[in-house]
Amino acid sequence: MTETAENFDLVVVGTGSGNSVLTPDFDDWRVALIERDTFGGTCLNRGCIPSKMFVYAADMAHQAGHTGPLGVDTSLDGVRWPEIVDRVFGRIDPIAQGGEDYRHSLDNVTVFNGDARFTGHKMLEVNGQQITGNHIVLAAGARPFIPPIPGLDEIPYHTSDTVMRLETLPDRMVILGGGYIAAEMGHVFDAMGVSVTIVNRSERLLRAEDEDISAAFTEIATQRMDCALGSPIVGVSQSGSQVTVSTEARNVTGDVLLVATGRVPNGEQLGVTRSDIELDDDGYVVTDEFLRTGVDGVWALGDICHAAQLKHTANEDTRAVAHNIAHPDDLRAPDHSGIPHAVFAYPHVAAVGATEQSLRAEGRPYLRALRPYSDTAYGWAMEDTASFAKVLADPDTRLLLGAHIIGPQAPTLIQQLIQGMQFGLTVDQMARGQLFIHPALTEVVEQALLEL
């Protein structure tokens, strides 16, 4: 005999940004929240927030011993790793638990702790229980991609989900990958005194960034860490407590292996196609501009439906979905124009808009300006000889097409360019229509704009 499904007005799968769908508009709705992992999602528990708390500590550790050009002699006396971990998760874990406790306390919300799978049209199964929803929001995010490397499935390894909770620091760590997770975690563990080797099949790190940024970051990283770049990985093996990664060029050995080779969306794991919800070739849930799937009443937001995989885009999606469900006669599309992002490695990287190589591939005309931090008074004060700001503009409209910064405070410095780009200011208006504080580091942005 088939169990009768429990019906809800709204079902939300995933409690990261999905948790924020529940605005006051839904106080009188019967709501189901489904979470298979820790309440609060990736950003809170194993992504943006804890990683940046580790990064900040790593920044402080890395600066020790690197202040000689300023005439200041410093050294790193030591790292109390267990205390760092406790500081991070001692703050985060209670937030996650508090958020779940709050949702449990609401009379109109039922929390399901378990894996959700579609079993039919708008029908989900969680812990053996069938539930349906008039509206269903897919906010189940993404997970680490595990590449099909021979031997990898036979040895222990970490991903970004687990590596920040290591109980002790290893002597040596091998990191597979060359994207933002590899860059940030490489910085963290190197700064903490671990001997880090980054293994990446591409010859460049952060290769999705603008070509000048990627080249500069790779040069700095290779001076700081052992980097085995530009050679395919042929296998992974373990002998005792040692893990060996073999490439066509060399073998790399470490105590801990971190797999940081990208992230993939969770739509397939939910079995969304059983409800006739379409996935694209990369596994992302297909939506229209209002984040509606092809099934009436089913919506998707965040990492599960587009490749940006950024918390600020997921938050923008959440606002749109919450509004659209509550106000079906006044649909709003999330604004994904000029999505900015940052990499909190060392040095920092920040970007918005087009890269130079993408403009070149399109055959689109552009103007280019690149100004080093050392051209500014504050850059002199820092003795910074490697950092720079780069801007790209349309030669006819004089509108900003892209901006890329590598160096200290890059994610903060780029915000004024994001704002100017978003509100349609020309590069001339951005450069000359305001006063830049002298001698603040923002002058590097001013100088780049003036060069255009």
* Catalytically annotated residues: 438
Can you tell me the distance from the alpha carbon of 222 to that of 232, in angstroms, rounded to the nearest whole number? 18
φ/ψ of 328, rounded to 5, equals: -65, -15
Whether residue 81 contacts residue 192, with contact meaning beta carbons closer than 8 Å, is answered with: yes
As a whole number of angstroms, the distance between CA 393 and CA 328 comes to 38
124 contact partners, CB below 8 Å, separation of at least 6: 11, 13, 34, 116, 117, 118, 130, 131, 132, 133, 136
Q: How many CB atoms lie within 10 A of CB 77?
A: 6
Contact partners, residue 239, CB within 8 Å, separation at least 6: none
As a whole number of angstroms, the distance between CA 22 and CA 105 comes to 14
DSSP 212-255: HHHHHHHHHHHHHSEEEESS-EEEEEEETTEEEEEESS-EEEES
Q: How far is 349 from 357, CA to CA, in rounded Å? A: 17
Work out the burial of residue 30: count CB atoms within 10 Å of its CB; fewer than 13 is exposed, 13-18 middle, 19 or more buried: middle
Closest alpha carbon to 401 in 369, 371, 433: 369
